[in-house]
Structure formats: C-alpha cells, structure tokens
Amino acid sequence: MSVDRRQFLQDTAALAASISALQATTARAADEAAPKEDKKKPGANDVINVAVIGVRGRGMEHVRSYNDHDEARITTICDVDRNVIGKAMKAVSSANGSEPKFVQDLRRVLDDKDIDAVSIATPNHWHSLAAIWALQAGKDVYVEKPVSHNISEGRRLVEAAEKYGKVVQAGTQCRSTPTGSTTSGTGTGITATATSATRGFTRWTWPAGDWARPSSPRR
C-alpha cells in the first residue's frame, strides 16, 4: 500500500481537531473559491478502509474527517445503539455513493480482514481495551482522548502498539494542532497523553485557547 498510514492518521487527527466552527467555515469557503487542482484520485489499493466505532458524539467528527480524505473510505459504522447511527450512515453514503456496513458488536469489526484501521470514539472506559483488541487484530488505530483511565492501561496500549508493529494515533489536540505542538515538549505519541494527564491539565478556556492553570496532583 503506497499510502503512508502514520502520516495519514496524523493528518486525520489534525483535521478532527478543529475547535472553531468559524475557522472551519472560512477554510471551506476559501477552498471552494480556489482553483481546483487536477489531482489523480488514489486507486483501490491506495485507499485505507476504516471502521468508526462509536458515532453518537465525537465519532461524527471522525466520520466527517475521513469523508474529506480521498485516501480513506469508511466501510463500517459500529455502535451498540442503532438509534444514533442515522447521521453517520447518511454522511458516509453521501460521500461514498453506497451505504456502509453497520454492526453493533465491535468484535465483528476486528474479525473483518478488509478493514485496515479503526477510529475509536466510544465511551472513555472502552478506549484502551478497544484499541488493544484492534492492534491484536492487525488494525492501525486512531483513538480518542483519554486513551486510558490510568497509567497502567496506557502502558499496556504502548506495549501492544510496539508488539504488533501497528500505528496508533491518540486524539490529543494539544499535540496534533500547530499551536499545541509548540507548547508540548514531553514524550511522543500516545505516551504523551498519560504525561499530560498526570500534570493535571483539566480545562480548556473557550475561545481563547489557553490551558487553565494546572491543578495540584492528588496525594
């Protein structure tokens, strides 16, 4: 596969990290006004098949982001609640011209050999386990923050990524956005999420974009 998956997942994280509706609207308007490049669309072997797991809230941002990438194709929507999948199914159908598969059990996603990567936006307590299972199944992973509830879970995820040799991108916008990358200098990849968490960064000040003063760690 000619697509660089690591770069692809990093680019997707940055796209999903848009924190201003006004900025997104302005960028879209500018793009529509600019002359269109005559780009050759990637072939079938260059497209990464993605399953989005959890689409009620943050997962819809994942759907919209992948739909904007020619190198990605959402083939499966997974959510335990079929009552919340309508928007996701419609968005993917509109982008791909065909309806994606829907499953309620994430294990069916992991069993599917045609899926290259999973994008996890489940409730927080599922993040680490779903990511580790996906790595064991040979999938690359994008997982929303927090990647874990504790340091032990985070370490197990790091170990799994190293053991199975797959790509893991954590949805930590303070590292994925250009502004955040200039202020975050500790650790790399998913381990940095645990590092930031232990320092007690707890609140985003809207819309200024400055982190609140770190809270004192519990003793």
CATH code at 93? 3.40.50.720
Q: 118 lies in a domain?
A: yes
Please count the structural domains in the chain.
1
Query: What distance in Å separates the CA atoms of residue 183 and residue 87, rounded to the nearest whole number?
Result: 35
Question: Is residue 197 scored above 50 in pLDDT?
Answer: no
Q: Is 101 exposed, middle or buried (0-12, 13-18, 19+ CB in 10 A)?
A: middle
pLDDT reported for residue 210: 43
Residue linked to tokens 């993605």: 50
Residue, of 194 and 107, whose pLDDT is higher: 107
Question: Is residue 34 scored above 90 in pLDDT?
Answer: no
Q: 65 lies in a domain?
A: yes
pTM: 0.66
Can you list the alpha helix ranges (DSSP code H) found in the chain? Answer: 5-16, 21-33, 59-67, 86-96, 106-111, 127-136, 151-164, 173-176, 178-181, 191-198
Q: 22 lies in a domain?
A: no
Angle between helices 127-136 and 151-164 (to 10 degrees): 20
Q: 88 lies in a domain?
A: yes
For the chain, the average pLDDT equals 76
Across 8-17, 35-44, 128-137, 176-185, which has the greatest mean pLDDT? 128-137
* Domain span at 142: 5-12+43-211
Q: Are 48 and 71 in contact (CB under 8 A)?
A: yes
Q: 29 lies in a domain?
A: no
Q: 26 lies in a domain?
A: no
Mean pLDDT, rounded, for 80-96: 96
Residue, of 214 and 90, whose pLDDT is higher: 90
Residue, of 131 and 44, whose pLDDT is higher: 131
